[in-house]
Structure 1
Amino acid sequence: MNLLDVNWIAIVVAALAGFFVGGIWYGPVMGKKWMGAVGLTEEQIKEGNMGVIYGGAFAFSLVASWTLAHTFSSYGTDLTVTVKILTALGVALGFIVPAIGTNYLFSQKGKALFFIDAGYWLLFYTAMGAVHAWLP
């Protein structure tokens, strides 16, 4: 199988879906709590290079989306919508959440930040899985 033999439209749309979830999660839903948990003020956040931050985050979203698309295509075309969504959720629950949990334990970050970020990644991958399920 060719590594480039995937639905590129689905990859971009899924990355955008994950990015959209992040905007809502770290904006109106958990924005203030997240800022408190990481110890940043709104002024400090505004001082960041938003082009680099958002551009880099979207590039990482594209990589994650492509990897998910490639994983699905390697399993064949008979995966159901439910299987794709649950697989994407499983990737977050089985790989992403333990990885950030381990990092947060060693860096002694608080539980609140862990649950905020873990919740985001679960939603991020679920949204991407849904897009890949409906745009195979």
Structure 2
Amino acid sequence: MDLLEVNWLAIVLAAVCGFLIGGIWYGPIMSKKWMGAVGLTEEDVQGGNMGLIYGGAMVFALISSAMLAHMFYRLGQPPIHVKMMISTGIALTFIIPAIGTNYLFSRKSKALFFIDAGYWLLFYMAMGLVHAWLS
């Protein structure tokens, strides 16, 4: 794949959209439940290295978005509904089972699993939608 053939705007906007979903999900929607599930207080959260945390999360979102763009390009830019099925399927069959396995062995709570699984499902659905509209 030629780097110029990639829709860089779609890659960046999809990553930003996924990142913003995280801000909403782990902010006003699930912040209290998430903090309780991971055992953090407001002070713990505020005391973190926010540049590293948010910067790293954005880099990871860009990597995921670039991979989606690469897959869609290799598949000949499938229709919108296929892009949505693929991006949702990635969350349901790769991401969520992977974190589920980790949570089982690390004995993390079901509540944390469902909070994080819900986020990753929304993350990949949002990125798929952006790629579907812009590519």
TM-score by length of 2: 0.97
Amino acid at match of 2:70: H
8 Å contact from structure 1 (residues 3, 70) kept in 2: no
Distance 1:4 1:118 in 2: 34
| Structure 1 stretches lacking a partner, 5+ long | none
Partner of 1:80: 79
Distance 2:91 2:34 in 1: 19
Distance 2:116 2:96 in 1: 8
Q: How does 1:23-62 map to 2 (within 5 A)?
A: 23-62=23-62
Distance 1:94 1:2 in 2: 29
Q: How does 1:89-100 map to 2 (within 5 A)?
A: 89-100=88-99
Q: Deviations over 1:38-91 (max 9, x none)?
A: 0000000100000000000000000000001101000003x1111111110000
Q: Are 2:97 and 1:102 aligned? A: no
2:123 aligned counterpart, secondary structure: helix
User: Over the residues paired in the alignment, what is the CA RMSD in angstroms?
Assistant: 1.0
What is the aligned length? 135
Moved over 6 A (4+): none
Q: Structure 1 residue 4: deviation in Å?
A: 6.0
2:2 aligned counterpart, secondary structure: coil
Between the two proteins, what is the percent identity of the paired residues?
67
TM-score by length of 1: 0.96
Amino acid at match of 2:99: I
Distance 2:82 2:6 in 1: 18
| Structure 2 stretches lacking a partner, 5+ long | none
Partner of 1:113: 112
